[in-house]
Amino acid sequence: MVQGKNNKRNQISRRSFLTNSATAAAGFMIVPRHVLGGPGYTAPSDRLRVAGIGVGGKGESDLSEISKGPADVTVLCDVHDSRAAGSVKRFPKAKYYRDYREMLDKEHKNIDAVTVSSPDHNHAVQAMAAMQLGKHVYVQKPLTHDIYEARMLTQAAKKYKVVTQMGNQGASGDGVRQLMEWYQAGLIGDVHTVYCWTNRPVWPQGIPWPAQPGTKPADLDWNLWLGTAPQKDFVDKLVPFNWRGWWDYGTGALGDMGCHIVEPPFRVLDLGYPVSAEASVGSVYVDEFKQGYFPESCPPSSHVIMTFDTKRGPLKLHWMDGGIQPARPEELGPNERMGDGGNGAIFVGSKGKMMCGTYGMYPSLLPSSRNKEVDVKQTIARVPEGHYVQWVNACIAGYGKKELSAPFEIAGPLTETILMGNLAIRSYDVRKPKADGKGFDYPGRYIKLLWDGPNMKITNFDDANQFVKRTYRNGWSLGK
């Protein structure tokens, strides 16, 4: 059983947690293996007992990576049996459940930690239920569907003293640390503008909800899949992937890729909550001069500009999706790849620029010739064990004993920032009947939303605040 959950967590900032390479000793004694059972014997306290919620697709790969560390996958939970088949085969000794609530009720004494790799709309309730039982949690990105949920999970991690990690693997990569070292060395001066972009969505968006119910797979529990979302009939081409393009379940291209692409500037520049956001979105026309209105679906493309107040002055972060990209930097050669092609981030500073791809990979100073000329000493510890095993080791050590790359104290504010951009995107579709009854007004368009981050509130357009916190379907809640 994992020990040390009541140890007080060191108070560390986003900046210091990476730069401080020292780690505290574990808060419990492990009896030597040879005393317990001879060579090769593994003491129970050496191993993390993990339960997985949502174990198909990404969930299967999450558990596979976690099992490379000192961890045993002992329980599996999924609402879709055929999607879970790969994990069931990979971990034949693990017990299997459909309802995570039943699983936690019956197995909580037999597990130490839980992974959550379900669709976005159920992340928060599943993670919170595990945390309230004192279980460490690894939650796929984005951490939550709503800003309110992200704030609640961040607070819960501290309240319940559990080890947490979000599934943005690039946070443990060398790339973001290289970018930090360059920036801290002053190579590009003070950054005032950041451009982030992705070629996603790679699923349908900007479309109407299907008019006809679909044929539900016999091995799918649709009620459990819906979870917190409104009651609706099953429709085809929603599961297992295209739910990402519907606001009831997913968070669009920004929610999907923002935690990978915005994470490097968020960390490198030590950003907090944005103070404002404005958005424009791609339009879909269904006939001549007739624009479609599909508020249930995320738009086919968007451009969001978020403004931050930083210690080095105001900073604007541009997010572009749907294949929209920023102008190529003049310092980038005509045949040089921008970012990693379909995705990337560019930092524009007072003395220069730097660039990276998804996960902070392929970090580069611009022009690229500078990379051969500059030699900056490594000051930030790397994570050779990787994102998953880092979390496993931290869980075994106990709360507050080891540093992590994406604990909720960092992942929570990052997720809130990402979802703040979605507030601006969703506000674009807010409409109200005109006074004369002829058509509609769209008061959320062509304005800048002012954001009070600490209080989670838009201060100049109240209709946007409906997207801060959802109303769950009856029977679902974040608990006490």
**How many degrees, rounded to 5, is the angle at CA 320 between CA 207 and CA 367?**
150
What spatial distance separates the first Cα and last Cα of the chain, rounded to whole Å? 26
Phi, psi dihedral angles at 149 (to 5 degrees): -60, -40
Neighbour count for residue 457 (Cβ, 10 Å):
14
Position 33 scores a pLDDT of 35
Position 347 scores a pLDDT of 98
- State the Cα–Cα distance between residues 156 and 159, nearest whole angstrom: 5
Position 42 scores a pLDDT of 41
Position 348 scores a pLDDT of 98
Neighbour count for residue 286 (Cβ, 10 Å):
10
Position 20 scores a pLDDT of 41
Residue 445: Cβ-neighbour burial (10 angstroms; 0-12, 13-18, 19+): middle
Helix (H, G, I), strand (E, B) or coil at 316: strand
b/e 263-276 (16+ beta carbons within 10 angstroms → b): bbbbbbbbbbbbbb
Residue 219: Cβ-neighbour burial (10 angstroms; 0-12, 13-18, 19+): middle
Position 287 scores a pLDDT of 96
Phi, psi dihedral angles at 302 (to 5 degrees): -155, 160
Average pLDDT, rounded, for the chain: 92
User: Which ranges of 262-349 does DSSP label H, i.e. alpha helix?
Assistant: 263-268
Per residue in 331-383, pLDDT (tens digit) is 999 999 999 999 999 999 999 999 999 999 999 999 999 999 999 999 999 99
Position 480 scores a pLDDT of 63
Position 3 scores a pLDDT of 44
Specify the pTM. 0.90
Strands 276-281 and 191-197: unpaired
Q: How far is CA 36 from the centre of its chain?
A: 41
Which segments of the chain have a pLDDT < 70?
A: 1-45, 480
Position 60 scores a pLDDT of 98
Position 479 scores a pLDDT of 82
Position 27 scores a pLDDT of 35
